[in-house]
Chain A
Amino acid sequence: MHPIVTKELTKKFGAFIATNAITFEVKEGEIFGFLGANGAGKTTAMRMLCGLLRPSSGEAKVAGFDVYTQADKVKQNIGYMSQRFSLYEDLKVKENIRFYGGIYGLSNSAIKEKTKQLLQKLQMEAEAEQLVSALPLGWKQKLAFSVAILHDPSIVFLDEPTGGVDPVTRRQFWDLIYEAAGRGVTVFVTTHYMDEAEYCDRISIMVDGRIQALDTPRQLKAQFQADSMDDVFLKLARGK
């Protein structure tokens, strides 16, 4: 079973078609890059897949659940992290982990165990009692990612997870993504860094509500006779 399957998935806001009949599948353990210009319809599509927005028409199943009739099941079985909203700044590191563990219905003993593992893995044991607001941005992002997959979801959605961090931290973050994917977690990620697009197994590029290209980075570069994903993106999104 594919973790994400959509068929002609569409969302209209009045006369405006934000997402126009998109059809695609994401495979298990795949790192799937979801690209597009600002306003191309990425966020709308992502919100439908996360069970936050009811589609106008078409079909979508995420983690095996229907986004129309089982939206709550979808939410329980996915992880979500965005650059804008992730952790509570005024809670301590440990409290954030506990909070999210509780939200996802983990037992107390499971939360305890997970907290220990997570802090160890991120080498943040010394910061467990610190407020999240006091952490450097890069640490926050790594913590936010780990918290987003605390409940072992089969799929995690990452909405521009690496904006603004330094080049080393950005790469450390991708190490975490690779590692999760290696354990079989499916990763659905949006980014404006075209070099990061190259780290994905497959990429889709949305233009004006439609998926205009979908393939491996290598194939896309060959198809568009481009040297880099940046070129592919410019050729597609500028419509030339």
Chain B
Amino acid sequence: METPIVVQDVHKSFGKVKALHDISFTVNEGELFGLIGPDGAGKSTLFRILTTLLLADKGQAAVNGLDVVKNYKAIRKIVGYMPGRFSLYQDLTVQENLDFFATIFNTTVAANYELIEEIYVQIAPFKDRPAGKLSGGMKQKLALCCALVHKPVVLFLDEPTTGVDPVSRKEFWEMLQRLRKKGIAILVSTPYMDEAMLCDRVALIQNGSLLEIDTPQHIISQYNKPMWAVRAKRMYPLIQDLRSFPETESCYAFGEYLHLTLKHGEAGLEKLQAYLQPKGHEEFSIHPIQAGIEDCFMELMKSEKV
């Protein structure tokens, strides 16, 4: 079996804007590979190059062993693509959209029903509803069905969970896990850092460059600075105090805690206690924690800017 996705030294600019700079990575068979980064990082440009909708300025890319330039027609037959913007026909019903995409690929919904069944049963109660009238989560499920209807070898999902509520997001990722087990390689992008943990490997992307490619677990284990979770009753004054503390390296809000790193690590802890003492924060607490993927991303972003 061919490697599902190989990207080598890909560059793409739009005028002066470098959308992609020297991108290389590989997605292996049955791998769920995440492209993690904010809006404007270059994620969609990369998807469009890999789905043969856009030409790179430089570099090569192959999908299932087929070159994205020379064999573009063959690639289009074997990939499923869910673009970032909802791209189904809003005025066609759920059923009509599915039939339409099946027909385009010269197949029928029935022929590959086994692949979409689990997802389809969730939207089946709305099969006669126009796609434009579905809720956000339902739209994404329909779009995934349409991308799968011709049994693709590689699946490209560009921000499938953006703007989708946490419940639907979770359900969507559970579906991706099951598809992966069926041997479909999946390249999925997301701006939600917590979703990175659900991927086999991730590439962190920012301003058109890859910051890191690895398993999420390994990225986290490489973060070697001591970090503390800090909280108090009133968080905003605490953030301000911590940011003005000369020993503070970084201080960011993370849910109910602030994540804090110090320039001299644990050596700075005593000074911190002495500094905060007179400020009188109520319900103050501090404990060491392991950095998460979002901490790592922020750290990598910082080193990139220097």
Contact = CB atoms under 8 A, between A and B. Distances in A.
Contact of B136 (A38, A166, A178, A199): A38
A167 B135 contact: no
A211 B256 CA distance: 22
Contact of A194 (B163, B166, B298, B301): B166
A166 B168 CA distance: 22
Contacts of A3: none
Most buried by A among B254, B255, B297: B255
A217 to B, nearest CB: 6
A238 interface: yes
B73 interface: no
B32 to A, nearest CB: 20
B274 interface: no
B167 A160 contact: no
B215 interface: no
A165 B38 contact: yes
Nearest to B252: A171
A217 B166 CA distance: 16
A213 interface: no
A130 to B, nearest CB: 15
B119 interface: no
B162 interface: yes
B301 A171 contact: no
Nearest to A207: B167
A230 B254 CA distance: 13
Contacts of B270: none
Contacts of A104: none
A34 interface: no
Interface in A124-151: 136-138
Contacts of B212: none
B157 to A, nearest CB: 16
B233 to A, nearest CB: 10
Contact of B170 (A38, A218, A234): A234
Nearest to B170: A234
B294 A167 contact: yes
Contact of A233 (B166, B235, B252, B254): B166
B140 to A, nearest CB: 10
Given A163-B162, A165-B38, A174-B253, A237 B167 contact: yes
Given A182-B236, A192-B164, A233-B166, A167 B297 contact: yes
B167 A238 contact: yes
Contacts of A178: 235-236, 239
B37 interface: yes
Nearest to A228: B255
Nearest to B137: A38
B206 interface: yes
Most buried by B among A37, A38, A237: A38
A234 B162 contact: no
A195 B168 contact: no
Given A175-B239, A192-B166, A198-B256, A166 B37 contact: yes
Main secondary structure of the interface of A (DSSP, over half): helix
A195 B254 contact: yes
A136 B38 CA distance: 11
B137 A168 contact: no
Nearest to B171: A238
B141 to A, nearest CB: 12
A233 B294 contact: no
A194 B164 CA distance: 12
A65 to B, nearest CB: 29
Interface string A199-240: 100000000000000000110000000001110011001100
B255 A195 contact: yes
Contacts of B137: 37-39
Most buried by A among B39, B165, B170: B165
A196 to B, nearest CB: 8
B130 interface: no
A166 B301 contact: yes
Nearest to A174: B253
A177 to B, nearest CB: 9
Interface string A11-49: 000000000000000000000000011111000000000
B197 interface: no
B294 A165 contact: no
Contact of A166 (B38, B165, B256): B38
26 contacts: A36-B165, A37-B168, A38-B168, A136-B40, A137-B38, A165-B38, A165-B39, A165-B191, A166-B41, A166-B191, A166-B206, A166-B297, A167-B193, A167-B252, A168-B298, A169-B38, A178-B236, A178-B239, A192-B163, A193-B192, A198-B256, A199-B253, A199-B255, A233-B167, A234-B167, A237-B166
